[in-house]
């Protein structure tokens, strides 16, 4: 203030000086703030988003995909290691790279087929001669299937064994397993089951309970090929699965490295004995193609099965073959020779330092490993990620952009074996994820079948996905335009098209696109449950924009999934010719990423949980109320808690609406952002699901009962009604307490942090 006093002492000509002073002081004052004040209030730049979207290039995505899917690259193979180097070099490129890049290695427990001793399913006559052996490899319909590194069909971690009459002391006949357990005696049989519905290993675990001694699993053309089983109708003539195609897969319930639960699989880490691994069946299992399955199923005796597939014969249940068949009086054998081994698997991590909130992370990831060439799964997602990092990396290196928050990119290893790379990452980086990560975006299979966006996440993610899907790039962009390209309908935004295809009537918003709220979440599981509280939002893009209209197919997934036919040729001919759907996914996912990384206020809608909570409550009231009353358990406190949540989230929404730059300090704004970031954590409880590896989110744990409400409560209620024991009714009350406390905690997180 000394200058002011000096100036004030000058009378006379000082008037002009005074005017100058006033102008200089008040008129130019904004520029005298420290530079960081300006930076603090730099909000999301919509023009930058459009620029980003314009620069996303479908040709480059195509070239990415070609490079990524050139060779079979199962986890830890040389081809997988080559892709590690490819991604490292892209992210370290001085022109388009990120701030910091590194690879993280874990020694993880894997399982591979023995190439010298191929797994198979056989039919053996009583004299020991073989009348049928399943194919060791898919038919070479293009050059891709001739690649020497193709992994033979198998189920990773499936127990070894040869199930024969000698080993079991009984005659292992074949039975078709279609919810038949209660009508035919399965004891001592080998069951053949189709893919679809519950997970692979769960089919075997269930079958085991009925005495089944081995499981054969196949893909029925009815579920994947719209009924078509003629070779001429399938790839390379169409997108349908050829008769020799076999879906490979992991055969375990739990995710992450199985020898190091809860801890990163480092050299120092204690490894449990293999015998203590849980969530794997005890009986051998092997997948086969529908060509092979047809021979087995169409020769079965027994009565007609309640479910009929598309193999061109009547499906009987067995057990055993009809007397007139080639296989009569024969045994079925499953021969599994898998080799379990510990191998070094890499994650590749890339980091962009945030300008304003460097200790807040937005994550974006996908896995890198495939079962065979993996053009669609996972390379379509990686091709998209590399295009996003190319465009953003260039802006960064040119000094034209730096996100408000830090961004972490991850290329995960060994996902196909059960989300291993990302789980080990979450275990190692637990404290950073728990304390600093606001959201996780996963784009695995970027494009596969339907004609619309498909997004998955927890309810607060809905608003940012909607915002991104509504974005139009501008009139000067001619291809894709961030708009859906469906023959005959070229003018819709992603949002409108999505709403046309999949929608729901929201009590709060009216008709809106249907988001999937973490049903069967994949990466969600990792981020939600690992280490018990490391919980972030997940945004997932799949099933997007193909020429194949979902209305014209009933395929449960794209037909070449996990087979030797998931190749660049297949992807570029039948999934996304021209790669404009990939481009739109890259634009939309990148848009979501930028909104999360650059917005002053995190674009997450805490209020959007209300609908789900009320649905959960209504279901519980509708289904449970009578019996709960009988046992003197009240649902009222749950209703009270949900109302508290509703009020808290609406108040927070108002607070956010009223936040004015000049009125609120950076720490006040951070306070609100932290409430949004920490919301999901408040719903977790590491003691809610004892003995269930990693599950801690009270709303999103999986459930086995059919009640669409809090999973712990739903399952406890199911059990109590079955057993009707005092103990089990106590467990219902216990689980209700857990649900109430979780909602109360979430409400408390959203309420004014400046009060008790």
Residue nearer to a copy of itself on the CB measure, 182 or 632: 632
In three-state form (DSSP H/G/I as H, E/B as E, the rest C), the secondary structure along 31-98 is HHCCHHHHHHCCCCCHHHHHHHHHHCCHHHHHHHHHHHCCCCCCCCCHHHHHHHHHHHHHHHCCCCCC
Among 94, 268, 275, 632, binds a copy of itself (CB under 8 A): 268
Q: Known catalytic residues?
A: 415
Distance between CA atoms of 571 and 581, rounded to whole angstroms? 11
Angstrom distance (rounded) from CA 324 to CA 46:
72
Of residues 607 through 636, those in contact with a copy of itself by CB under 8 A are: 634
Residues in 508-537 that interact with a copy of itself by CB under 8 A: 532-533
Site for a copy of itself in 404-423 (CB under 8 A): 406, 408
Residue 256 near residue 232 (C-beta atoms within 8 A)? no
| 3-class secondary structure per residue, 561-603 | CCCCCCCHHHHHHHHCHHHHHHHHHHHHHHHHHHHHHHCCCCC
Nearer to a copy of itself, 548 or 713 (CB): 713
Q: Is 602 in the site for a copy of itself (CB under 8 A)?
A: no
What distance in Å separates the CA atoms of residue 437 and residue 754, rounded to the nearest whole number? 23
**Window contacting a copy of itself (CB under 8 A); options: 52-60, 315-323, 367-375, 677-685:** 677-685
Say whether residue 23 binds a copy of itself (CB under 8 A). Answer: yes
Told to check if 188 binds a copy of itself by CB under 8 A, we report no
Query: How near is the Cβ of 663 to a copy of itself at its closest, in Å?
Result: 9
Sign of the alpha-carbon dihedral angle for 206, 208, 212, 213: positive
State which residue, 67 or 682, has the beta carbon closest to a copy of itself.
682
Query: 511 burial class (0-12, 13-18, 19+ CB within 10 angstroms)?
Result: exposed
Binding segment for a copy of itself (CB under 8 A), chosen from 246-254, 278-286, 590-598, 733-741, is 733-741
CB closer to a copy of itself out of 161 and 460: 460
662 binding a copy of itself? (CB under 8 A): yes
For the CB of residue 582, give the shortest distance to a copy of itself in the complex, in Å: 27
Task: Give the binding range for a copy of itself (CB under 8 A) out of 215-223, 508-516, 586-594, 735-743.
Answer: 735-743
- Contact between 717 and 278 under an 8 Å Cβ cutoff? The reply is no
In the stretch 387-406, what mask flags binding to a copy of itself with x, by CB under 8 A? -------------------x
- Rounded Cα–Cα distance for residues 351 and 360 (Å): 12
Query: Rounded distance, CA 463 to CA 445, Å?
Result: 22
Please pick, from the candidates 8, 17, 230, 622, the single residue that binds a copy of itself as defined by CB under 8 A.
17
Choosing from 179, 183, 431, 723, the residue that interacts with a copy of itself (CB under 8 A) is 431
Q: Which pair of structure tokens corresponds to residue 551?
A: 């209305």
Q: Binders of a copy of itself among 47-106, rule CB under 8 A? A: 100, 102
436 is an interface residue for a copy of itself by CB under 8 A: yes
* DSSP designation for 150: P
Q: How far is the CB of 149 from a copy of itself (least distance, A)?
A: 31
Binding span for a copy of itself by CB under 8 A among 50-58, 214-222, 427-435, 548-556: 427-435
Interaction of residue 19 with a copy of itself, rule CB under 8 A: yes
Question: Does residue 16 belong to the site contacting a copy of itself (CB under 8 A)?
Answer: yes
- Least spacing, CB of residue 109 vs a copy of itself, in Å: 16
Whole-number Cα distances in Å, 345 to 241, 260, 265, 415: 30, 14, 10, 10
> Which letter does DSSP use for residue 483 in this model?
B
The answer to whether 11 contacts a copy of itself (rule: CB under 8 A) is no
Q: Which is nearer to a copy of itself, 31 or 166 (CB)?
A: 31
Using CB under 8 A as the binding rule, whether residue 725 contacts a copy of itself is answered as no
Scanning 57-65, 158-166, 324-332, 663-671 for contacts with a copy of itself by CB under 8 A, the matching segment is 663-671
Terminal Cα distance for the chain, rounded: 40
Distance CA 413, CA 606 (A): 33
**Does position 496 bind a copy of itself by CB under 8 A?**
no
Give whichever of 267 and 505 is closer to a copy of itself, judged by the CB atom.
267
């Amino acid at each position: 203030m000394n200058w002011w006093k000096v100036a004030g002492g000058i009378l006379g000509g000082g008037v002009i000086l005074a005017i100058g002073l006033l102008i200089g002081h008040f008129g130019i004052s904004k520029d005298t703030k420290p530079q960081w004040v300006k930076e603090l209030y730099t909000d999301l730049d919509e023009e930058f988003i459009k620029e980003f979207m314009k620069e996303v290039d479908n040709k480059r995505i195509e070239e990415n995909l070609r490079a990524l899917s050139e060779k079979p690259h199962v986890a830890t193979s040389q081809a997988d290691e080559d892709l590690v180097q490819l991604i490292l070099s892209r992210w370290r490129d001085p022109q388009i790279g990120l701030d910091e890049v590194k690879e993280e290695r874990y020694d993880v427990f894997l399982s591979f087929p023995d190439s010298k001793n191929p797994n198979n399913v056989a039919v053996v006559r009583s004299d020991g001669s073989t009348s049928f052996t399943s194919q060791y490899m898919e038919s070479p319909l293009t050059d891709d299937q001739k690649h020497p590194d193709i992994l033979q069909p198998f189920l990773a971690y499936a127990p070894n064994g040869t199930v024969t009459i000698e080993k079991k002391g009984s005659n292992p006949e074949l039975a078709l397993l279609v919810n038949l357990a209660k009508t035919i005696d399965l004891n001592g049989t080998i069951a053949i089951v189709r893919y679809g519905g519950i997970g692979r290993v769960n089919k075997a675990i269930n079958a085991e309970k009925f005495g089944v001694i081995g499981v054969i699993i196949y893909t029925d053309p009815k579920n994947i090929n719209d009924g078509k089983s003629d070779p001429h109708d399938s790839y390379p003539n169409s997108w349908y699965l050829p008769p020799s195609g076999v879906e490979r897969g992991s055969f375990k319930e739990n995710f992450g490295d199985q020898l190091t639960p809860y801890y990163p699989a480092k050299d120092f880490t204690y490894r449990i004995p293999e015998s203590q691994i849980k969530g794997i069946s005890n009986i051998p299992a092997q997948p086969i193609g529908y060509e092979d399955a047809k021979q087995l199923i169409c020769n079965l005796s027994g009565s007609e099965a309640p479910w009929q597939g598309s193999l061109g014969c009547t499906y009987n249940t067995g057990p055993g073959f009809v007397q007139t068949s080639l296989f009569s009086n024969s045994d079925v054998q499953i021969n599994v020779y898998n080799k379990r081994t510990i191998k070094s698997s890499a994650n590749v991590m890339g980091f962009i330092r945030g300008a304003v909130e460097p200790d807040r992370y937005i994550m974006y990831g996908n896995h890198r490993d495939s079962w065979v060439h993996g053009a669609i799964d996972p390379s379509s997602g990686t091709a998209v990620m590399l295009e996003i990092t190319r465009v953003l990396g260039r802006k960064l290196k040119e000094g034209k952009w730096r996100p408000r928050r830090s961004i972490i990119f991850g290329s995960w290893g060994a996902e196909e074996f059960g989300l291993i790379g990302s789980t080990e990452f979450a275990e190692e980086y637990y404290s950073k994820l728990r304390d600093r990560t606001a959201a996780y975006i996963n784009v695995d299979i970027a494009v596969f079948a339907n004609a619309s966006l498909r997004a998955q996440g927890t309810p607060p993610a809905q608003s940012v996905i909607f915002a991104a899907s509504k974005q139009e790039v501008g009139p000067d962009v001619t291809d894709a335009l961030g708009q859906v390209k469906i023959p005959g309908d070229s003018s819709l935004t992603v949002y409108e098209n999505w709403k046309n295809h999949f929608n729901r009537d929201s009590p709060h918003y009216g008709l809106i696109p249907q988001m999937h709220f973490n049903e069967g979440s994949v990466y969600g599981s990792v981020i939600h449950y690992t280490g018990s509280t490391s919980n972030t939002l997940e945004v997932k893009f799949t099933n997007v924009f193909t020429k194949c209209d979902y209305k014209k197919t009933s395929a449960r997934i794209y037909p070449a999934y996990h087979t030797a036919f998931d190749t660049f040729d297949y992807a570029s001919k039948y999934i996304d010719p021209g790669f404009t759907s990939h481009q739109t996914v890259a634009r939309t996912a990148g848009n979501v990423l930028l909104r999360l990384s650059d917005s002053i206020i995190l674009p997450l809608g805490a209020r959007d949980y209300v609908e789900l909570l009320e649905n959960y409550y209504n279901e519980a009231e509708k289904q449970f109320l009578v019996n709960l009353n009988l046992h003197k358990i009240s649902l009222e406190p749950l209703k009270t808690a949900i109302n508290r949540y509703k009020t808290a989230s609406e108040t927070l929404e108002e607070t956010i609406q009223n936040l004015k730059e000049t009125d609120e300090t950076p720490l006040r704004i951070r306070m609100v952002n932290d409430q949004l970031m920490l919301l999901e954590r408040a719903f977790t409880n590491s003691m809610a699901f004892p003995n269930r590896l990693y599950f801690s989110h009270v709303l999103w744990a999986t459930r086995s009962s059919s009640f669409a409400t809090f999973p712990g409560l739903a399952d406890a209620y199911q059990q109590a009604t079955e057993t009707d024991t005092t103990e089990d009714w106590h467990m219902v009350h216990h689980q209700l307490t857990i649900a109430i406390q979780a909602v109360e905690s979430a409400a408390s997180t959203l309420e004014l942090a400046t009060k008790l």
